Structure 1
Amino acid sequence: MSASIPLKDSRSGTLAMLAFACGVMVATIYLCQPLLAEMARSFGIAADRAALVAVATQVGYTLGILFVVPLADGSDPVKLIRRMMMLTIVGLIAAALAPVLSALLVASVSIAATCVVAQILIPLATTLAAPEFRGRIVSKLSTGLILGILLSRTFSGLAAEYLGSWRAPFLLEALLIAVLFFVLPRYLPARSTGAGIGYWHLIKSLPPLFRHRELQLSMALSLCCFAGFSALWATLAFHLSSASFGLGPAAAGLFGLWGAPGALLAPMAGRLADRWGPGRVNACALVCMAACFLLAATLGRTSVIALVIAINLLDFGLQSGQVANQARIFGLSPEIRGRLNTLYMGVTFGGGAMGALIGGWVWSVAGWVGICWLGGCLVVMAALVLGCASVFACAASKTPAC
């Protein structure tokens, strides 16, 4: 996986292992999505209340990004990552044993707040190679991350279906992270940039970073796109279990697998971002996402094939946009990449929490078509932001190409 990218002081297979770790860790916050209908039945609650589990994971991940990821600029990554893994394992076991919805919500917030390892690894990996490889490194690790998001649903749905309980996936995920706990540190550098910086100094240094226009643009685009992505995925299990399909958690989980091809095309976005710039990649990503919601709102109401195509468009669009956004912000100072990623991903998963929360309400009011309209409106908002930013950039540069 890393053969075409020369890395500094790293062992063979480093990028492959880091990408795998990104996928495994981020998977913990998406295990619940194909299980929401089963959780609702298990606890005897309405669908919109079960959807709060998906909201809790997004909120927890946002908190972890804001208050844990800044340590990446001032701590030994081996110690930091191992501590986060151990806490995630404890949270997963607590979720599997949760007797009531409130306990599951608390465990979900805890799991998500401590599984932010991917957001530490991605900026760390960009320091291992020359700047001209930045987009490709981000795309490789982001591919691992998005595959973790998608395949976690497949893993979760199948495990719940064939082991007879929605609790089983949480225990299996805890076991997988326990194995990674011993393997991953062998591939990490001993120290991160800026080691020794105090925690509160790192936290206080976050607000001034909002001045960077590259960060502002990337955050706005990602908030809109991830909100639409989360709204669709948080309600897909309900759509598939409706009278139009009558499918269970295994089928909902398999949509993660069927949507994987779209994510596997993401390395192309990294190369294009390095060559053409992030803006053009963002534009292509938004076109794909718009096509997804249009297809899902029409043929996707009753056709599984149409839904599979729509999910691939959504996954490719989101992943490509994320690669472009992170390549843009990592072009700023290397010493602040961890904190830039903190702000960027904090807003991203804040958008995810907003999308899951609003999506649960929209589903109860307007059903699947309402979800698709919500996603389409969010894509239009992102397109307006990108268009305005492009106009302002061209006016500032006053280049003939504009």
Structure 2
Amino acid sequence: MTLHPSGPRTAQRPAPAPVNVLALTVAGSVTVANIYFPQPLLAAVARGLAVSERTAGLVASAAQIGYALGLLLLVPLADTARLRPLTRALLLATSAALLVAAAAPNIATLVLATLALSTTTVLPQILTPVAAGLAGPERRGRVVGVIGLGLTLGSTLSRTVSGAVSDASGSWRTAYVVAAAATAALLWVLPRALPERPASAGRPRVPYGRMLAGLPRLLGSYRVLRTAALRGACVFAAYSVFWAALVFHLAAPPLGYGPGAAGLFGLLTVPAALASAYAGPLTDRYGAGPVGRWALACVGFGLAVAGLAPVSPVALVVGAGLVVLGTSSCQVANQSRVLGLGREVAARVNTVFMLATFAGGALGSLTAAWLYGAYGWTAVVLAAAGFTALGLLAGAGRPRVA
């Protein structure tokens, strides 16, 4: 018998599967853009369909409602459904709805098409748990951070691209056609980058109705999920309060900037978004808790800068960048934490986490205009700081997995 000096046994944990991070990041960026690219087009939509700007704003509302429905109804399927057919179906449905929107003869058709396409364009929240599971615990944060960076860039730059396409073509409809083509192009790339079956394929399949009914029980089962969901809701509420009111603050005296300047602020925060990708490796090395606390402190510092120098464009840009950096980093840390609860429930815990985050963002957006109109910029900054402080308190205890 020949002995091999193999040292400690290391075969207990399977090697992480290869992850086509570039393909998943590009796919996430393209698909998440479908939620945000119509926002700069709303004035042109109002003129083209002969409706008021307030009525055209229903398009943006439909996008948010549809995305929430998709998170609730479709993302949990990734725990049990065959991934490649699911991906193809969602891409086809989204592309078709974008073409219907491009040809919409009236605002009602456009709103319904937007509701449909935003419901089926939740692929980013399917791709992230799949990629995290393939990467393994040692690389989970890094992969989540890179894909999260793609989502941030897609949501930010899509507004700039759609406005440029609309201006160059003279029609808001062209932006929808371009989005449909980009989404359909993913049919030739994305399914090949995914495994055929989810990680939990060998387990007994949970009926769809029972799977949805069990989502609230996940909060009771996992303290980590409760903490991350509350922290995610708080930081996104702070982010939404700040950014929704910033448009009004920039337009008001003494600054008096137009819509173009508000859009430029988004572009100026791209370096901060790029820097947030490093939150992934930091999470892998130091854990989600310390990175999350650092990220919330970054948000608080940005709010302090913007609040103490409210009429300084430089201070507002710096403050906005720090808010973006902290919010994106906190998202990466929180999502990495909940996706570590188990590959067999990854899509469902991600659904709960994202719904909580989305609810916090909606609360912030709804209160921002009222706060600014009634009490001014200082009240907005204080409200955002309050949400941030609550997020810090949410993670004060030592988390347990169950």
TM-score (norm 1): 0.84
Match of 1:291 in 2: 301
**In the alignment, structure 1 residue 20 sits paired with structure 2 residue 20:** no
Report the Cα offset of residue 163 of structure 1.
Answer: 3.6
| In 2, Cα distance between equivalents of 1:237 and 1:100 | 28
| In 2, Cα distance between equivalents of 1:310 and 1:45 | 34
Two-structure CA RMSD over aligned residues (Å): 2.9
Task: Say if 1:281 and 1:321, in contact at 8 Å, map to a contact too.
Answer: yes
Report the Cα offset of residue 181 of structure 1.
Answer: 2.1
Task: Say if 1:59 and 1:349, in contact at 8 Å, map to a contact too.
Answer: no
Deviations for 1:195-231, whole angstroms, at most 9, x for unmatched residues? 3543223223322211211000110011111123233
| In 2, Cα distance between equivalents of 1:164 and 1:242 | 30
| In 1, Cα distance between equivalents of 2:108 and 2:378 | 30
**In the alignment, structure 1 residue 316 sits paired with structure 2 residue 325:** yes
Aligned length: 381
Deviations for 1:135-167, whole angstroms, at most 9, x for unmatched residues? 111111111111112212222333344444444
1:1-400 aligned within 5 A: 8-10=16-18, 14-36=20-42, 45=52, 53-98=59-104, 102-195=108-201, 196-211=205-220, 212-240=222-250, 244-249=255-260, 251-301=261-311, 303=313, 305-366=314-375, 368-387=377-396, 389-390=397-398
The amino acid that maps onto 2:267 is L
| In 2, Cα distance between equivalents of 1:172 and 1:96 | 10
Which structure 1 segments of 5+ residues have no match?
Answer: 1-5, 395-402
Report the Cα offset of residue 237 of structure 1.
Answer: 4.7
Task: Say if 2:32 and 2:122, in contact at 8 Å, map to a contact too.
Answer: yes
Farther off after superposition, 237-246 or 16-25: 237-246
Report the Cα offset of residue 321 of structure 1.
Answer: 0.3
| In 2, Cα distance between equivalents of 1:51 and 1:214 | 37
| In 2, Cα distance between equivalents of 1:343 and 1:383 | 20
Report the Cα offset of residue 28 of structure 1.
Answer: 1.4
Deviations for 1:62-95, whole angstroms, at most 9, x for unmatched residues? 2111110000001111111121122222333344
| In 2, Cα distance between equivalents of 1:100 and 1:75 | 36
Task: Say if 1:154 and 1:256, in contact at 8 Å, map to a contact too.
Answer: no
Report the Cα offset of residue 169 of structure 1.
Answer: 2.8
| In 2, Cα distance between equivalents of 1:58 and 1:218 | 22
Q: Secondary structure at the match of 1:126?
A: helix
Aligned-pair identity (%): 39
Q: Secondary structure at the match of 1:132?
A: coil
| In 1, Cα distance between equivalents of 2:375 and 2:39 | 20
| In 1, Cα distance between equivalents of 2:236 and 2:212 | 25
The amino acid that maps onto 2:325 is F
The amino acid that maps onto 1:270 is G
The amino acid that maps onto 1:209 is L
Report the Cα offset of residue 122 of structure 1.
Answer: 0.6
Task: Say if 2:18 and 2:135, in contact at 8 Å, map to a contact too.
Answer: no
Task: Say if 2:310 and 2:377, in contact at 8 Å, map to a contact too.
Answer: no
Change (3 A) 1:176 1:299: farther
| In 1, Cα distance between equivalents of 2:319 and 2:99 | 34
The amino acid that maps onto 1:380 is A
| In 2, Cα distance between equivalents of 1:100 and 1:368 | 37
Deviations for 1:330-364, whole angstroms, at most 9, x for unmatched residues? 22122111111011111111222222233344455
Deviations for 1:292-323, whole angstroms, at most 9, x for unmatched residues? 333334545462x3333223212211111011
| In 2, Cα distance between equivalents of 1:383 and 1:360 | 25
